[in-house]
Chain A
């Protein structure tokens, strides 16, 4: 039961971050403009993050879907979501109304709510909960890591 639940959370979170990363990689200039809207980082940092964050999301999402280093990925993604929440709360506190840029082009295509508001904070908090559950759960299904471990044990 725990294994199935862990797999479900892993697949859901991995899929979401995989797609979010891909949609941002497809249009890095748009994500850069979104980052500028937050008015938190200096220019060079914004440029680096516009290139780096989508790839981080893509790799961590892929790692969760495949079940390879998934516990480290779940922990990193929950930390990333804590930073996203802090950034959203920061713009909310300053009264800036912007898109959070969470889903890039995907938000337009699927008409997803993408504003940096309470809904984004609640959504990211739910993500953190699911990711921490993946981190804490012992067993999971259909994981490449478990498969490699079994293969290693057979060899011994």
Chain B
């Protein structure tokens, strides 16, 4: 199978097109790394016993009498080690 050759550094690229391809490739790699770390973080957080609750609890707001969206100033009881 024939592979596409992309130069790894703009200094090695003879044309402006090569440089553009190179930058495009770096940006694609950066996006891949950002997405991969987000997936790993969310997966680990879902499975870990020391996970953080990312989405706010609507039910807790109703029981505590605060309006939805209003943040509670009380310390985060149950923030850590909450059973999923």
Residues of A bordering B, CB below 8 Å: 25, 27-29, 32, 43-44, 47-48, 50-52, 54-56, 58-60, 63, 69, 71-73, 75-76, 138, 145, 149, 152, 156
Contacts and interface: CB of A to CB of B under 8 A. Distances in A.
B12 A48 contact: no
Contact of A55 (B11, B41, B79): B41
Contacts of A156: 3
A4 to B, nearest CB: 17
Given A75-B26, A156-B3, A51 B42 contact: yes
Interface in B2-19: 3, 8-9, 11-12
B21 interface: no
Contact of A47 (B3, B11, B50, B54): B54
Given A72-B29, A149-B8, A152-B3, A29 B34 contact: no
A51, A59, A145, A152: residue with the most chain B Cβ atoms closer than 10 Å: A51
A52 B12 CA distance: 35
B3 A59 contact: no
B26 A72 contact: yes
Majority SS at the chain A contact face: helix
Given A55-B41, A56-B41, A44 B54 contact: yes
A23 to B, nearest CB: 13
30 contacts: A25-B44, A28-B50, A29-B50, A29-B76, A29-B79, A32-B76, A32-B79, A44-B54, A47-B52, A47-B53, A47-B55, A50-B52, A51-B41, A51-B45, A52-B38, A55-B40, A56-B37, A56-B38, A59-B36, A60-B37, A63-B33, A69-B29, A69-B32, A72-B26, A72-B29, A72-B30, A72-B32, A72-B33, A138-B9, A156-B3
